[in-house]
Structure 1
Amino acid sequence: MNKKRRLALAIGAGIAPLLVVTMPVTPAGAHGYVSSPPSRQAQCAAGTIDCGPIKWEPQSVEGPKGLTGCSGGNSRFAELDDDSKGWKVTPIGHTQTFTWRLTARHATSTWQYFAGGKKVAEFGGGGAQPPETVTHTVNFGSVTGRQKILAVWNIADTANAFYACIDVTIGS
């Protein structure tokens, strides 16, 4: 190996650690999902249901605000929209606490819960960054029977939201 090539390799090896330390960090592709009762993506991550790539990144169901599907409009996670997949249904009462597990804590505008396409609860986030675990107690009122609950985490400083569907039987 000639001297110029060795010198170039030595300089490159010396500069590489500096670049790693000084390069800007890109945001993680991870954010949050409902872990309890187990959402569809939580079931995938646990291996309860055989799923595709969502198994490895249940926190990544992100899409534009205002969507109504379980996949957040993300085609990679389209199987979350498949109601015939055999999702585990959790029996709950008329009031239920939902737990979000957050892996990247974004400033929050609101958290919303829908049953049968109608909003049943909304919690304000005040633009604040939430803790790693967030819980909300939702009262379903007169809603009963088998329901697919759509839980939405609306981010304050972007046009996106995170989506999770939870299959439940209310009042069982």
Structure 2
Amino acid sequence: MTSRKHLKSIAAGAALAPVIALGLPAGVASAHGYVSAPLSRQAQCAQGIVSCGDIKYEPQSVEGTKGLRSCSGGNTRFAELDDDTLGWRVTPVGRTVTFTWTNTASHRTSDWEYYIGGTRVAVVDGGNTQPPATVTHTVDFGSFTGRQKVLAVWNIADTANAFYSCVDLQIG
């Protein structure tokens, strides 16, 4: 008798589990996108190359309103990304660089932008479509040389937000 009751309890629990799960509040999505190659600052944090805070657990989550020019996307939780003194690994490159975005949640895209300082050096039209999980863009840096911090921005079409990623390069 005891094992029969035990089996009924297990069956009842299994039947109720999906109902209970659907009734729970949805969590905040912690997945979006970041530059994974050359290694962005948040990719370096995630790989343990540079000691960082929470961003090491969610490199894809540097989201802020469109139009910002900070590595942290204005998010104080990820302020260390704005600190140029943390010993970021610098990637030596030529004047043309291919950037790879890893998108862990796809959003319709307005465009991607690439900046050095206040200068926009490239814009790639997103066509108001959802990109695949991996996207690459080749950017020509023209006359820029030496150590440069590149701000890569993924502008989302269906929200007021963008995703931000900084990459430290040695150009030339």
Where does 1:84-123 land on structure 2 (aligned, <5 Å)?
84-123=85-124
Deviations for 1:81-122, whole angstroms, at most 9, x for unmatched residues? 000111000011000000000000100000000012200000
* TM-score with structure 1 setting the length: 0.88
Structure 2 unmatched ranges of 5 or more: 1-8
Residue 149 (1) aligns with residue 139 (2): no
Q: Residues of 2 paired with 1:82 and 1:26: CA distance?
A: 30
Where does 1:3-152 land on structure 2 (aligned, <5 Å)?
13=13, 15-21=16-22, 28-152=29-153
Partner of 1:34, secondary structure, is strand
Q: Residues of 2 paired with 1:75 and 1:98: CA distance?
A: 26
Q: Residues of 2 paired with 1:22 and 1:108: CA distance?
A: 31
Identity %, equivalent residues: 65
How many residues are matched?
Answer: 162
CA RMSD of aligned residues (A): 2.0
What stretches of structure 1 move > 3 A for 4+ residues in a row? 12-16, 21-27
Paired residue type of 1:136: H
Structure 1 unmatched ranges of 5 or more: 1-8
Q: Residues of 1 paired with 2:96 and 2:156: CA distance?
A: 25
Shift in Å at residue 22 of structure 1?
A: 6.9
